[in-house]
Structures are given as C-alpha cells and as structure tokens.
Structure 1
Amino acid sequence: MSLDPTMQMVLHQLNSLPQVPTERLTPDTFRNQPHPPEPPVDLALVRDLELPLTGRTLRARLYVPNEAGDACLPTIVYYHGGGFVYGDLELFNWVCSTLAKESTCAVISVEYRLAPEHKFPEPVEDAYDALAYIVAHADELGVDTKRIAVAGDSAGGNLAAVTCLIAKERGGPQIVYQLLLYPVTGVTEEDPSVIENGTGYFLTADLIRWFGEQYQRSDEDQHNPHFAPLESHDLAELPPAFVATSGYDPLRDCGLAYAEALRSAGVAVEYHNFEDLIHGFANFGAWVPRAKEALTECAHRVRDALVKPSGL
C-alpha cells in the first residue's frame, strides 16, 4: 500500500529540513527541537502530578475523559517514545489527551528519566516503580486497580512490554491489557523492515543504532529481556495485547515478531499493521487524519478491554 498522501507531505517537509550527521548528534539535538502547537482535546480534567519514588521524583500527568462517571476509573499508564533519549509530557500531550478521549479511560502519562544520563535499566525501573506507585495510591488518583492497562509507543512500547514482564516476575500490580505502538522489542540490522525502510521514513537505521548506543551500558544488555523483550523465554500468562506497527517503519518486523512470540506463548494478541503510515504516527495525528484514525482505532481496543471487558 502507498504511503498516505498527507503523511507523505509531512514526511517531505521533515526530509527537507537540515539533517545532522549521526556522528554529530547529541541528546539536545532532539530535546531542543521546536514543537508546533496542537489543537486542544476536550477532557474533563488534566492535572500534573509528582510521583515521589525512592531516590527520585518523576513528573506525570493525569487525563480524565468527559465520560468519567465513577470515582475509580479504568486507567492507562502511558510511557512515551523518543528513543529513550528525548520526549516529555508536553511532546505527548495531544497523544495522551486523544487516547483518554477515545478510550474513555483515564490516562496517566509518566515522564521517566532519559539516556544517556540515565542508561538501562534506570528507565525500566522508573516505568515499573511508577506503575507500582499509581496502584498503591489508586484511591487518591481515582484509579480502578482491577482495570489497569499499560501503553507506550516506540521506546515507550518497550517499557510497557517490559513492565508487564517485571510485574509477572515480581508478583506485582495486576495489568489487564497492554497497548504497544510500534514497540522496540529487539531490532536487528538484518530485519527486512530495517533494510526496506532504514532511510527516508523519519526513523532511520542510523538513528536506531545511535539511540541504542545511548541507552545500553554494553552490548550484553541486548540479550537482557528487560532491554529487549524478544529475548524473553517466558512470555506465558502476560496480559492480552494489541500490537500496532506501520508499513513504512524499520521497527515493523520486531513488533510483529513480538506479537507472534506472545501468541506462541498463549497470550491473547491482536496485531495490526497500518500499512500506509510511518513510525511515530501517533505524534502526527493532530495534522494527519489517517494517523489520528489509527490512534483512535488503538484507543478503542483499550476501551473494549477495560470498559467493555468482552472486547478481546
């Protein structure tokens, strides 16, 4: 399928910008990029939070949809993308607002610590500890502990998947669903999708390599399931999952491989490849109707699982 025409126009604009050679990249190359204003999303409540964890405090943001009627709401704990190097509450504000509106669930977006200042496993620890804190303070946050999902995109999809692994290993909070948007699960340069889409489609093979170098402590990390969940040999009894990839994404194949691995382990999985979109489509939804449509479809899967439990 051809790339969506509006997505193609946005991609052309991105590719026309000056490109920084990989050897000159720094975290600030991404962190200091201007972010265009996005349209507001009508919600009942948006509130900034602080999560006081051991040895650090993380910023978070609570989004409550207009449909909220109960004191305790089904809740999505969201981890943003950005190669583990950049991303914050503001950059993913529209994504999380739309996810809350379309899923009719509360969303708590977690701003975890970033590499290379905080390499693996520190972002993983932030992701899991934030979830544990939210569950422990469910009453004051209005969270229904029996209806909690984790979600994330790209690097955040990795953290959502790994959080499910750790929760199972430690007998931690009960997660009933996982939404993984084009997740990083264990990519290799030999993946056909990397070869096909490694240049010209926003996320490049060179960037994947560079982000990995910022995040990992050593090459040994690549064999750790908490770094690359495809390395796990025990995926049984994980929460049901919706795994979304995109056709013009170098991470397409590793997302598909993880969906297949979950299914082989007996996990209920729905997989969808949005063939006419690129990596990071959720962040383009404010300007690309097809991308918003895809994000809405993903949100409805969570709604069906948490609000209408017979959905999966």
Structure 2
Amino acid sequence: MSMHSAFREYLDGLNPLVEQAARDGFVPTPESARAALVGLSAFVLPSVADARVFDAVVGGADAVPVRVYVPRPESPSDVILFVHGGGHRPETSRSMIPPHGARRTAAATGMVVVSVDYRRSPEALFPEGLGDVYRALRDLDVVLGNVETTGKIQAVADSGGAAKVESIAMPVAAGQWSSPIDRQLLLYPSVDYTMGGESLREFATGYFLSAERVKWYFDNYFPAGADRAAASPLSGPFAPEMPETLVIAVEYDPLLTKAVEYVERMRAAGARAHLVIAPGMLHAFAFSEDKVPEAISRLYALIAEFLTDGGAPAGW
C-alpha cells in the first residue's frame, strides 16, 4: 500500500528541514531528542479521562516511579504493564507523551494500567532501565494496594519500551524465570541492536525514524564493549512458555523486517505469536491521532481485542 497521504504531506514538510539541519552541522543531544519526543504531543488529540489516577513508587531501595490509571474502579480488571518507548531515552511518564498512550489503553480496554517511569540513557545505561521495568512488574501487587483486579497481568509497549518487555521474556524462554505476563502487545517493536535488516536499509532516510537516529539511540543506550547481539531479543532464546504476543508493525518503518522475523522465530519455537502490519503507517504513528484518526481507532480496538480474548486478530 502507498503511504497514507497525511504522512506523505508531513514528510514533504519535515524532510527538507532535516536535510538543512544536517547541512548546518546539527548534532543531536539528549536534550534535543527529548524535546523532539515531547513535540509529538502536538499531533495527539485531547486525552480521555480516567476515573482515578495516582502516582506511586515500587522497588524498595531502587525506587521506580509509576503512574496508575484506573478507568473503572467499581469493576475488577486485568492489569496492564505499560512501557513507553522513545529510543530508551524518553522524558518521564509525567511528560505529555507516555500518559496519552497509557490513558488511551486504559479507556480502550477498561483495564488498570501501570505506566513505568524507567531510568533513561545516557544517564542510566543498559541494563538499568530494563531492571526498573522488571522491578515494577515484580512489585505490581504492592503498588496497586486496594485497587480491585483479577490478578491477571498483560503488557503493552512500543518501540524501545517493547524491547524491554521482550527482554523480560528472554529468561522465561531460557527456563530461568516464570513471567506473570499472560499476553503482551508490542507496537513497532525494537528487537535487534545489531543494525541489520532489509527495511533498515530501505527506509534509512526520509521516513521519520532514520537508520542514523536508530544507531545514535543504541550508541547512547549501551556502555562501551557491551554485547549488543546477545542483548537483542531477536537473538533469543525462544520457547513455548513465552507470553502470547501480538506484534503490530508498520509498513514504512526501519524496524519492520526484524519485527516480522521476531514473530517467525517465536512461532518456530512453538510460542503463540501473531503479526499485524499497519498499512501506510510510519514509526510512532500512535501519536498522530489528528492525522490518521481511523488508524488510531483500529489500533486501540486491536489492543482491546487481543488483551481481552487473545488469539490471532482478523487483521488490520
């Protein structure tokens, strides 16, 4: 399918600015990257309301801030661990970006959502942010207190956040741990830190997320000498015991090829894995509700459908 007309128009305006910045010698910094992520909030519509929202910390001495969204306090529901993306270096969950997805997920599913404010790079290098997500998952019962739940845990994560959720599944596949996550939905996930894949070459420039920016994110996430291949969820292991997974990839995304390969490897290992490719979309399209409202409606319908019932969706 051709690119959605709203994104084609957007890129026609954005790409000349990116090219000019490169000619002018612009060098990205953590501050500029975070400002750009916050700038995505210009493309989201006003967020839905929740009946109850509160902040808490988990993890004891290694405290991890979380924000909890309770859309239906009167009804016990599953709990969703929500891990936002942003190249492993987003602003905190108190910024304008992550709460939008968390609130929309809570509204669409009717489930309690716990959004994790993991530490970010380059201030906290791999695997510190990953450890924060693990501690939040481990201590969900503590943070939820008197919130009524079914006791079942699901997960929703996008991009670099999805990499963290996938990484939590790696010791499960290795037989080292039994994850409490029943189902996980991964939106345009990052699964490979080695910079491989046909789509990374095909969509290297001009498609919002560039190959150069992906490399910059990874270079700022890993300490010197880290084994990036071993850290990549795509490297495995894979096993039937992994949580049931739905990957929603996008057609015009440098990360597409490896996301598809991740699902194929899960299936080959006997794990329950499903794939949907959103046609005509760009990476991070979930923050473009004003541009592609129909796609956003379909996205949250898929999230609710999968987390409620599981199984392969009918398609996009």
Q: CA deviation at 1:93?
A: 1.8
Q: Hey, what does 2:265 align to over in structure 1?
A: 261
Q: Hey, what does 1:240 align to over in structure 2?
A: 244
Shift in alpha-carbon separation, 1:173–1:191, aligned structure 2, 3 A: closer
2:183 is aligned with what amino acid?
A: Y
Shift in alpha-carbon separation, 1:172–1:208, aligned structure 2, 3 A: same
> What are the equivalent positions in structure 2 for 1:182-197 lying under 5 Å apart?
182-197=188-203
Are 1:31 and 2:34 an aligned pair?
yes
Choose from 200, 208, 221 the match for 2:227.
221
TM-score (normalised: structure 2): 0.86
Q: CA deviation at 1:162?
A: 1.4
What is the alpha-carbon distance in structure 2 between the residues aligned to residue 271 and residue 171 of structure 1?
Answer: 25
Q: Hey, what does 2:159 align to over in structure 1?
A: 154
SS at match of 2:45: coil
2:155 is aligned with what amino acid?
A: V
Q: CA deviation at 1:171?
A: 3.4
1:278-309 C-alpha deviation (Å, 9 max, x unpaired): 1111122344214313422431333433xxx6
Shift in alpha-carbon separation, 1:56–1:187, aligned structure 2, 3 A: closer
Work out whether residues 190 and 255 of structure 2, in 8 Å CA contact, stay in contact via their aligned partners in 1: yes
Choose from 69, 74, 97 the match for 1:91.
97
What is the alpha-carbon distance in structure 2 between the residues aligned to residue 189 and residue 164 of structure 1?
Answer: 21
Q: Provide the identity percentage.
A: 26
Q: CA deviation at 1:37?
A: 7.3
Work out whether residues 198 and 205 of structure 1, in 8 Å CA contact, stay in contact via their aligned partners in 2: yes
SS at match of 1:39: coil
Q: CA deviation at 1:214?
A: 0.6
Work out whether residues 58 and 111 of structure 1, in 8 Å CA contact, stay in contact via their aligned partners in 2: yes
Work out whether residues 246 and 252 of structure 1, in 8 Å CA contact, stay in contact via their aligned partners in 2: yes
What is the alpha-carbon distance in structure 2 between the residues aligned to residue 112 and residue 51 of structure 1?
Answer: 11
What is the alpha-carbon distance in structure 2 between the residues aligned to residue 155 and residue 219 of structure 1?
Answer: 20
Query: Which runs of 5 or more structure 2 residues have no equivalent in the other structure?
Result: none
What is the alpha-carbon distance in structure 2 between the residues aligned to residue 255 and residue 310 of structure 1?
Answer: 18
What is the alpha-carbon distance in structure 1 between the residues aligned to residue 127 and residue 233 of structure 2?
Answer: 13
SS at match of 1:10: helix
Q: CA deviation at 1:207?
A: 0.6
What is the alpha-carbon distance in structure 1 between the residues aligned to residue 272 and residue 260 of structure 2?
Answer: 14
Choose from 45, 58, 64 the match for 1:58.
64
What is the alpha-carbon distance in structure 2 between the residues aligned to residue 286 and residue 17 of structure 1?
Answer: 21
Work out whether residues 153 and 180 of structure 1, in 8 Å CA contact, stay in contact via their aligned partners in 2: yes
Across the two proteins, how many residue pairs are aligned to each other? 304
What is the alpha-carbon distance in structure 1 between the residues aligned to residue 3 and residue 284 of structure 2?
Answer: 14
Work out whether residues 105 and 303 of structure 1, in 8 Å CA contact, stay in contact via their aligned partners in 2: no
1:193-227 C-alpha deviation (Å, 9 max, x unpaired): 01111111111000111101011113543132xx3
Q: Hey, what does 2:136 align to over in structure 1?
A: 130
TM-score (normalised: structure 1): 0.87
What is the alpha-carbon distance in structure 2 between the residues aligned to residue 201 and residue 139 of structure 1?
Answer: 44
Query: Which runs of 5 or more structure 1 residues have no equivalent in the other structure?
Result: none
> What are the equivalent positions in structure 2 for 1:1-312 lying under 5 Å apart?
1-18=1-18, 20-21=21-22, 24-33=27-36, 34=39, 35-36=41-42, 38-66=44-72, 69-70=74-75, 72-89=76-93, 90-145=96-151, 147-166=152-171, 169-224=175-230, 227-305=231-309
